[in-house]
Amino acid sequence: MPIRITGMNSGLDTESIITELMKVQQTKVDKVKKQQTKLQWKQDAWKTLNTKVHSFFTGTLNNMRTASDYSKKTTDISNSSVASVVTSDSAMNATQKMTIKETAASGYLTGGQLNGSYTKSSKLTDLGIEEGSSFSVTVNGKTTDVTVTSGMTINQLLSNLQSAGVDANFDEKNQRFFISSKKSGVDNDFSLTASNSKGTAALEKLQILSYDTASLAEYKKYKDMDGDITATQAAIDAEVTQRLTAYLSQRTTLTETLNKQQEQITTAENSYRSKYSEEISAQSSGGLDSLITAKKAEIESLKESGTEADLKIATDELSELQEKKTYVDAYEKSKTSLASTQTSLDAIADYVDEDGNAKSTLITEATSKIEAKIQTAKDLIEGGMTGSDAVRISGSDAVITLNGMEYKSTSNVFEVNGLTITVLGNKGDEVTLTTRQDTDGIYDMIKKFIKEYNSLINEMDKLYNAESSKGYEPLTSDEKDEMSDSEVEEWETKIKDSILRGDSNLSTIASGLKSIMLGGVEVNGSKVYLANFGIETLGYFSSADNEKNAYHISGDADDSSVSTNEDKLKAAIASDPDSVIEFFSGLSQKLYTNLNSLTSSTDFRSFGSIYDDKKMKEDYNNYTTKIKQMEEKLKAMEDKYYNQFSAMETALAKLQSNQSAVTSLLGG
């Protein structure tokens, strides 16, 4: 801002004069700013109401339209500690007897106590375990080798075991390993066997060597291959095939991933170039971070001494920088992922040729692995098996009888004829299951619908009937400075609360909903109304302000105003649930159709909006443009006044100089 020194010759308070001259013009600008502020508050009020309408429209109202959504069934259990039941709509109304014959269990291994004090970060070499020690985890026929590498910790070992398909943990307090199958049942059990002699020693030192049924079967399978060239070669071929299949699958996936990553990178480059006329490769996340920090500082400064127009421009620029950073972050992440994928593909090339055949490296490794397993199994079985202090529990299946028919499951959950039964009790427990129509569920759905409708219509009535805020206008910065924060908040709240008062669009929406609720629905050839089910408003004089269009369910225990009345709705559901369902699905469909029409896209509103959001946004932008033009005109006018007064001061200075000269000539 230029420094102006005025009134030196005239003695006039030029600053005050110009300030007064500009006040009238500034008032015009402030008036437009206030109009824009009120428009923004109106947008905010509509957005809040629109969110509530959308939630009602897509949630409860949408679910109420279809008769099948009401057809809920429930199952009563004679002893809830024995079983729980989830009932589907397809379940038959019937009473059934259930007996538990067996419960499902997961395979579980509790390791012996280690001789030491180890943590999950301890290295396996600290336990005396050699690098190259290998053992296998077999789950559902899939075998995964775990090989000890240099520096491997207990925590890394646990990760390997979990990747192999079992749950594993090390209890530092009790110094024991715990390993279990991820699912219960015989088929989901696991075996843990040594793959080489070092592996046997490793399992012993980890105190998890076990000769349980599953592990013994695995050892015997490989011991029987000793001397059987055909069986050995078949095992090697199977190992090669398994590894090759895995590598090929990985290569296909990685190749597809690589292509997609390259496409994403190209798309990002093109999209960024099209949007910003710049190359994304020339940007960096760090550089944008610096620009964003600087822009935020500029915005804070503008909040204190800048104009609203400049603040809006700076805010928009910050949004663009943040948007650019989002693009660049994703781009840089994609480039890193691409490099990682390529490295993984290069590693596979050591084992598989371009035609998809196994290379000698793969065949050699598979052969060594099978031969080591055969030798290890032979040494263990022939040398006598002495394990650790580990305790092993084998996985088992659950078995129940339902109406005399036996059912088996790997878990304690059974799905039978629309019932999902979860066994909670013990072997020998009996229970009676009674499946029936869930009338309480229908009542609860209707009650939820009425409650949400009431909340919405009460809000609309409150907004429409709000007290007038005539005489209240948004405050300028100078006006705010003359008031306390609480006074400013109270002033603005007064305006915001009445921003939709008497709004014709709001009236149209509310009236449409009220009309549908008052209107009937055709059921079995007769017109039926909410009142037939004891659902009515309280009346004009009995209702609270802005709740005169809210409905109350007669006999609702949660509604003190009608809780002692006859519960007609529950009686109707009990006697004829189909008619009740037909009425409310029809009523909901009418409301849904009405709101769907109101939220359709037009030239002035977006799809899903109940108000003219497009028009309001356009009007807001027009205000911004107008304010900027007016402020530029205001600045030019102020400069003009200063120039005029400056010219006057110059003329007075010249006049005074001439007078002094004349006086001097006359001898004064």
Predicted pLDDT at 385: 73
Half-sphere exposure (Cβ direction) of 407: Cα atoms closer than 13 Å: 20
Closest by CA position to 207, among listed 181, 173, 175: 175
DSSP-derived letter for residue 595 is H
Read off φ and ψ for residue 192, nearest 5 degrees: -130, 110
Is 49 strand, coil or helix?
helix
pLDDT, tens only, 560-589:
999 999 999 999 988 888 899 999 999 999
Are 204 and 376 spatial neighbours (Cβ–Cβ below 8 Å)? no
Mean pLDDT of all residues in 118-128: 95
Is 469 strand, coil or helix?
coil
Average pLDDT of the chain?
89
Question: If pLDDT is split at 50, 70 and 90, which confidence band does 174 have?
Answer: very high
Predicted pLDDT at 501: 92
DSSP-derived letter for residue 105 is B
pLDDT, tens only, 492-507:
899 999 999 999 999 9
Predicted pLDDT at 588: 93
Half-sphere exposure (Cβ direction) of 75: Cα atoms closer than 13 Å: 29
pLDDT, tens only, 40-55:
999 999 999 999 999 9
Predicted pLDDT at 574: 87
Mean pLDDT of all residues in 10-20: 66
Closest by CA position to 595, among listed 460, 503, 404, 463: 460
- More confident site: 543 or 661: 543
Angle at the Cα of 172 from the Cα atoms of 168 and 176, rounded to 5 degrees: 55
Read off φ and ψ for residue 516, nearest 5 degrees: -65, -40
* pTM of structure: 0.51
**Least confident interval from 243-247, 387-391, 526-530:** 387-391
Per-residue pLDDT at 6 exceeds 60: no
Distances (CA, A) of 342 to 305, 346, 347: 54, 6, 9
Distances (CA, A) of 291 to 8, 253, 542: 45, 39, 61
Mean pLDDT of all residues in 74-102: 93
User: 418: phi > 0 → left, psi -120 to 50 → alpha, else beta; which?
Assistant: left
DSSP alpha helices (H): ranges in 168-228? 197-205, 213-223
pLDDT, tens only, 455-502:
999 999 999 999 998 889 889 888 888 899 999 999 989 999 999 999
Distance, in Å, from the CA atom of 419 to the CA atom of 435, rounded to the nearest integer, reads: 9
Distance, in Å, from the CA atom of 16 to the CA atom of 4, rounded to the nearest integer, reads: 13
Are 143 and 136 spatial neighbours (Cβ–Cβ below 8 Å)? yes
Predicted pLDDT at 34: 87
Question: If pLDDT is split at 50, 70 and 90, which confidence band does 590 have?
Answer: very high
Give the distance, in angstroms, between the CA of residue 232 and the centroid of all CA atoms in the same chain.
52
- More confident site: 647 or 254: 254
Percent of the chain with pLDDT over 70: 94
Angle at the Cα of 221 from the Cα atoms of 217 and 225, rounded to 5 degrees: 160
Are 209 and 110 spatial neighbours (Cβ–Cβ below 8 Å)? no
Alpha-carbon Rg for the chain in angstroms = 41
**Least confident interval from 12-21, 41-50, 280-289, 537-546:** 12-21
Q: How far apart are the first and last CA of the chain?
A: 44
